[in-house]
Amino acid sequence: MTANTILIAGAGAIGCYYGSLLANAGQSVSLLVRSGYDHIKQHGVEIDSIHGEWNFKPAHVIQHAAELPLTADYVLVTTKVTEQVDRAGLIRDAISPDTTIVLIQNGIDIEQEVAHAFPDNHLISGLAFICATRCQPGFVKHTAYGRLVIGDYPNGIREKTRRFAELFKNSGIDCNITDDVVTARWQKTVWNAPFNPVSVLSDGLDTQSVLQTREDYLRAIMTEVTEIAAALNHPLRDDIVDINIESTRSMPPYKTSMLLDYERGQCMETEAILGNAVRAAHGAGIEAPYLTSLYSLMKLKETRIAQSS
């Protein structure tokens, strides 16, 4: 097997964890780093996983896509999706006609910016179901799960996508392929839309505390997400709300990614997770009062943060 040249754009937990497994399996994995470059260049990235501890030494550690000395077969974008990150600009100099772009990111309707910038490239959209955190640049802690779901954007599964999934599987990563990744995004939003903003608006309540005191409220938000998805022709399974409630009940108390960003004073994925969902709902003529409330309150909280800083 010839090694593929893979560039990971974003040295957070997702990028480093999956990148390191691909590298361990023999792929040529380089890392585009936005902060902590010197440390990672010198020491690589320490991965402290439920599967063991290892060090990820990227083939190349670069600060700009143009520095990659090879032609990338795959560019995996694993940054957060916020207005502060110009994803197309970040990866542009590493994209050749044959490069497959893979977005492994949270949220609804997060593909269009990249699809528009690179209309002729093969675009895979994916979601990671994982509990992993970058504690500091060059140090990633993986505490649970790890499954990926990928598919072509906006739908379908090309042969190249199946081959890419094989790369993941050969690296020990549980990777499912879907011909409707947009539905998969709505499915993940059933959990993300309530728990992420609620954890921030409550100033840090963990998932178990929320579930124990306000299960009805969580169910109302989740049900609204399923209604929006159905109206947009992405119906979810009937028991999706029950499944999300029960699986959360069996999880240890968990800090959401939005809460971690909030506590660190970093930008939150409010637009990707909530704003785009609300806009999709309104576009379909759905009022979506629960999501609109969460989105509005998050934007007001962000306004206040901006005033205070």
Give the Cα-Cα-Cα angle 8, 164, 5 (nearest 5 degrees): 45
- CA-to-CA dists, residue 126 to 12, 42, 129, 151, 242, angstroms: 16, 30, 10, 6, 24
Nearer to a copy of itself, 113 or 206 (CB): 206
Does residue 297 bind a copy of itself (CB under 8 A)? yes
Nearer to a copy of itself, 27 or 244 (CB): 244
| Residue 244 three-state SS | helix
CA distance 200 to 56: 32
x/- letters, 101..120, toward a copy of itself (CB under 8 A): --------------------
Q: Name residues whose C-beta falls within 8 Å of residue 172's C-beta, 6 or more positions apart in sequence.
A: 21, 24, 25, 51
Does residue 219 bind a copy of itself (CB under 8 A)? no
Does residue 203 bind a copy of itself (CB under 8 A)? yes
Which residue in 279, 304, 305, 302 sits closest to 292, CA to CA?
A: 279
x/- letters, 171..200, toward a copy of itself (CB under 8 A): ---------------------------x--
| 51 Rama class: left (phi>0) / alpha (psi -120 to 50) / beta | alpha
Nearer to a copy of itself, 139 or 195 (CB): 195
**Stretch of 1-9, 10-18, 31-39, 210-218 lying at the interface with a copy of itself (CB under 8 A):** 210-218
Q: Which of 50, 67, 154, 217 binds a copy of itself (CB under 8 A)?
A: 217
Does residue 202 bind a copy of itself (CB under 8 A)? yes
CA distance 175 to 149: 6
Which amino acid, 303?
T
Q: Which of 29, 40, 205, 236 binds a copy of itself (CB under 8 A)?
A: 205
Give the total of residues touching a copy of itself (CB under 8 A). Answer: 26
Does residue 220 bind a copy of itself (CB under 8 A)? yes
Q: Which of 63, 213, 233, 247 binds a copy of itself (CB under 8 A)?
A: 213
Beta partners for residue 216, in sequence order: none
Q: Which residues of 48-83 are buried (b: 16+ CB within 10 A; e: fewer)?
A: ebeeeebebebbbbbeebeebeeebbbbbbbbbbbe
- Asked whether 14 and 77 are in contact (CB, 8 A), the reply is no
Q: Which of 160, 214, 219, 255 binds a copy of itself (CB under 8 A)?
A: 214
Does residue 292 bind a copy of itself (CB under 8 A)? yes
Q: Which residues of the chain form contacts with a copy of itself (CB under 8 A)?
A: 198, 201-205, 209-210, 213-214, 217, 220, 289-290, 292-294, 296-297, 299-301, 303-305, 307
